[in-house]
Structure 1
Amino acid sequence: MRSFVLIIVFSILISPFAKASNDGHSITVNIADYSDSTLILGYYFNKKMLVKDTAYISPKGNYLFEGDEKLEEGLYIVYLEDRTYFDLLIGSDQQFNVHTSKSDLLNNMTIEGSAESADFLNYQQFLVTKQKEAAPVQEQLKVNPDAATKAKLQQQINALSADVKAKYEEITSQHPNSFLSIFLKATQEIEVPQMTAPNGSSNPDSVVQRMRYDYYKAHYFDNMQMDDPRILRTPFFTNKLDNYFDNVLLQLPDTIIKESHRVIAMANGNYDMEKYLIQHLFNRANESKIMGMDAVLVSLGEAYYLSGRADWVDEEFLKNLRERVDKIKPNILGHTAADFKMQSNTEEFYRLSEIRADITILVFWEPECGHCEKEIPKLYEEVWKKYANQDIKIVAVYTQWEKEPWVNFINEHQLHEWIHLYDPYNRSNFRNNYDIYSTPVIYILDKNKKILAKRIGSEQIPGFLDHHFKLK
């Protein structure tokens, strides 16, 4: 059934497209049997539809979108007051007329003054026709016919898909550099070729699966003109970009960092495209809830913002980002935790680097914190007791300086087996070194005090430790 995907792709493309002169834009829309006062012209950008202009009905029943400046090319939407709409793919020629009727906006539509727009419209109408032809065939396939009938029906589906593919290739070959061609190519999925595992492979199926994945990952954006900012104004670009980073790539900071730089480089220096990719991928890293993705923020922040390459941000943004990067950078996963020397609740002094354990759980907390009141006892019951026979130490750092409530909490909850430390004179700079702006905050360190996990909840620690000890 994969061949049928070429037929159903029309669902994101239903509309006409555009032509304009060098003298701004002038788009006249006439909709028979429709006389509401306004039409809205919007455009697709970053998973949203944004308003560009509003046209008011003339005495002749027409609507006119015009301006002295050319519109940025892309997929636009004409929105009616009754919440129906149709799309206009606006290219370099931006003076044309659209005629349609309310009864069927797409199939009754014609475009005058733009050959490219008319070609696109014809393609959409062609897809609708092929979908109507395919619908009854698909319904027959659903009733599980005998093998011979099923094969015959599948041949009909294949023939329809071949027709769609031929139409697509005809248009893209006739207009290889037009926005129409770039737009249509961008809607096509990558076809992964057949592959064979090398001779002698111990697990050929697994090897082929990995080969297919590597090919798909490497060629994922082949159909996207990544240095053409016009694809930003389409309904599918950001979704495709996010799908790559969410579902195609392994969610590992090093992988995301490498691929972020690779994708940004695909802009080939195009200012608008590069700006969008930098901003979008940086914001993804900044908003990510996945542990360790702050390393992506640091990498992108230093490479594009703090280097001066992102000339669209102001000094205040750069100042705040520099402070943020300086706090995150020392405690990226895999880095050695910043050493410190602190005083214990029993007046002894401990240096973190001198505490010997296969695993050190470092928790920053305070007894007046409502979340800490729940999290610290949970850490004792669900982690400390469960792994008492393992080489684990818990170092609990009190982030305040009033000793009495701290000691009272330790005694009340019988936490005497932990190492309790505090820094009443703030000599260790632990707040900056460990990015402590709220409590509780938990780090997990290996025997060399390298950071294995951070900002992890007590309920997540057993699963993490089980995996660690299993690997060990």
Structure 2
Amino acid sequence: MKKYWLIISFALLTTSLFSQGHTININIDGVKDSTLILGYYFNKKMLVQDTTFVNTDGSYTFKGDDKLNEGLYIVYLQNQTYFDLLVGSDQQFNVRTSNANLLENMTIQGSEESNDFLNYQKYLVSKQKEAGPIQEQIQKASDENTKKQLQKKIQGLSSDVKLKYETTVNKHPGSFLSLFLKATQEVEVPKMNPPSGSSNPDSALQRMRYDYYKAHYFDNFKMDDPRLLRTPFFTNKLDTYFDNVLLQVPDTIIKESHRVIAMANANYEMEKYLIQHLFNKANESKIMGMDAVMVSLGEVYYLSGRADWVDEEFIKNLQERVEKISPNILGKTAPDFKMQSYTDEFFKLSEIRADITILVFWEPECGHCEKEIPKLNNEVWKKYSDQSIKMVAVYTQWEKDSWVEFIHNNELHDWIHLYDPYNRSNFRNNYDIYSTPVIYILDKDKKILAKRIGADQIPGFLDHHFKLK
């Protein structure tokens, strides 16, 4: 019987140890607010975790039966000031500070990890204060020796900060603090030498440095650790890579999207976030051709059934969208069609011979078309008509009178004007026509060079194209 109670007692003790939840007591001298808000960083936003009301002794307590997800949290005061609070594995601790200077007067007891993050913050602030006057002196200094001495002081401060960083990280291996501080560090590109005999050493060296930086951009990020999601910089770091580091070419973005997602394969939450974020980023992109990224991510992760968090309606709508976009992705051969002109001649797209075919879908009743079509004629056709270019204009409706009248009134007789009165070509689905005007630019083999481009953008595009040719 004693043995039975001993087992029960040990089980209760173990359960208590692992389900102690969180208790964060906060005292702020000089503050008489009735409430405090505990928030956390996620996807460039601050989300509310909890709200607490002032205790009878003037303190505040955030308390719960479950542990908080580890991450960087924010404590908001009613006067709209706030301070960051690192919440790691130890979640039973006390915070004391003063409204006069929240960070400078803050102390933390009960969590060594949270306290060491606080000390690290204070240390950075103190070194920044030291560096400020020195930087000003460097700007004013006219003597080179003086500048060098001042720059050595800055280097010394940087060395101090680096040592503080290394000491703090090594003290807490595997902790959120260590993960967080490592992720704040920029990748260092090593010294490199261009290949011997290079015709353009500077260019070769620049490319080598870029390739290294791109390949090692996420070295300081443990991409399968979801704690990174609750930091103020992770999503910005991710977007900087895809927006600024990478060339804005669909094939490059597709390849890198799959590579980055694969880094998180070991963690469901992190992989889910990356899939959703990169898919939405591609879907909302205003850059021409990025719909190919959306199609690739959609097919690999959503339509394959791998993204088990979405419902059937989402999958159905995505499938329909992918089917409409897939035929007209940049680089693909434009779907062929045969249509008749307003003079009852028949033309097949693949049989129209030209180095460049500008294909526009429009209708005269469209207000935007009324402006864009004449502009296309004046600023594109008249400028490039001596080149091997053909203008193919597809009327998306069926009533001929207003269509023919617009052609005559705007003197568009040099164009090839077509329509599909019996809806046999399926052009709306093949070219994803849900509004007008829509402009495609095709090469001599009818491969899609550009799409959904404005008339004012075409001259620059064509100038670049002919220059390369």
Q: Could you say which TM-score interval applies, normalised by the shorter chain?
A: over 0.9
Name the structure 1 match of 2:4.
none
Residue 386 of structure 1 aligns to a residue whose secondary structure is helix
Name the structure 1 match of 2:43.
46
Residue 288 of structure 2 aligns to a residue whose secondary structure is coil
Deviations 1:414-457 (A, max 9, x none): 11111111011111100000000000000011111110110011
Residue 357 of structure 2 aligns to a residue whose secondary structure is strand
Residue 199 of structure 2 aligns to a residue whose secondary structure is coil
Tell me the distance in 1 between the aligned counterparts of 2:211 and 2:297. Answer: 24
Deviates more, 1:124-133 or 1:330-339: 124-133
Dislocated runs of 4+, deviation >6 Å: none
Q: How far is 1:467 from its partner?
A: 1.2
Q: So what's the TM-score if we normalise by structure 1?
A: 0.95
Name the structure 1 match of 2:105.
108
Q: How far is 1:305 from its partner?
A: 0.6
Deviations 1:60-106 (A, max 9, x none): 11101111121111110000000110011111221111111111111
Q: Give the conservation status (yes or no) of the 8 Å contact 1:21–1:92.
A: no
Deviations 1:386-436 (A, max 9, x none): 111111111110000011111111111111111111011111100000000
1:301 paired with 2:289, answer no
1:99 paired with 2:70, answer no
The residue type equivalent to 2:239 in the other structure is D
5 Å-filtered alignment, 1:250-399, equals 250-399=247-396
Name the structure 2 match of 1:239.
236
1:156 paired with 2:127, answer no
Tell me the distance in 1 between the aligned counterparts of 2:104 and 2:137. Answer: 26
1:34 paired with 2:31, answer yes
1:74 paired with 2:74, answer no
Name the structure 2 match of 1:10.
none
Tell me the distance in 2 between the aligned counterparts of 1:39 and 1:249. Answer: 42
Q: Give the conservation status (yes or no) of the 8 Å contact 1:365–1:439.
A: yes
Q: Which runs of 5+ in 1 are unaligned?
A: 1-19
Tell me the distance in 1 between the aligned counterparts of 2:200 and 2:451. Answer: 36
Cα 1:176–1:294 shift into 2, 3 Å = same
Name the structure 2 match of 1:441.
438
For CA contacts below 8 A with separation 6 or more, give which structure has more relative contact order: 1
1:467 paired with 2:464, answer yes
1:222 paired with 2:227, answer no
Tell me the distance in 1 between the aligned counterparts of 2:148 and 2:200. Answer: 33
Residue 88 of structure 2 aligns to a residue whose secondary structure is strand
Name the structure 1 match of 2:194.
197
Name the structure 1 match of 2:452.
455
Residue identity over aligned pairs, in percent, reads 77
Tell me the distance in 2 between the aligned counterparts of 1:452 and 1:147. Answer: 54
Q: Give the conservation status (yes or no) of the 8 Å contact 1:21–1:95.
A: no
Q: How far is 1:38 from its partner?
A: 0.5
Tell me the distance in 2 between the aligned counterparts of 1:399 and 1:182. Answer: 56
Q: How far is 1:129 from its partner?
A: 1.9
The residue type equivalent to 2:285 in the other structure is S
Tell me the distance in 2 between the aligned counterparts of 1:221 and 1:238. Answer: 12
Q: Give the conservation status (yes or no) of the 8 Å contact 2:19–2:65.
A: no
- Number of corresponding residues: 453
Q: Give the conservation status (yes or no) of the 8 Å contact 1:286–1:297.
A: yes
Tell me the distance in 2 between the aligned counterparts of 1:415 and 1:102. Answer: 72
Q: Which runs of 5+ in 2 are unaligned?
A: 1-16
Residue 43 of structure 1 aligns to a residue whose secondary structure is strand
Q: How far is 1:269 from its partner?
A: 2.8
Name the structure 2 match of 1:9.
none
Q: How far is 1:118 from its partner?
A: 1.4
1:408 paired with 2:401, answer no
Tell me the distance in 1 between the aligned counterparts of 2:404 and 2:133. Answer: 76
Q: How far is 1:21 from its partner?
A: 6.1
Q: Give the conservation status (yes or no) of the 8 Å contact 1:31–1:101.
A: yes
5 Å-filtered alignment, 1:179-190, equals 179-190=176-187
Tell me the distance in 1 between the aligned counterparts of 2:145 and 2:85. Answer: 44
Deviations 1:163-218 (A, max 9, x none): 11011111112222111111000000011001001111111111111000000000
Residue 470 of structure 1 aligns to a residue whose secondary structure is helix
Q: Give the conservation status (yes or no) of the 8 Å contact 1:331–1:433.
A: yes
Tell me the distance in 2 between the aligned counterparts of 1:363 and 1:129. Answer: 62
Q: Give the conservation status (yes or no) of the 8 Å contact 1:99–1:111.
A: yes
Q: Give the conservation status (yes or no) of the 8 Å contact 1:21–1:94.
A: no
Q: How far is 1:145 from its partner?
A: 3.7
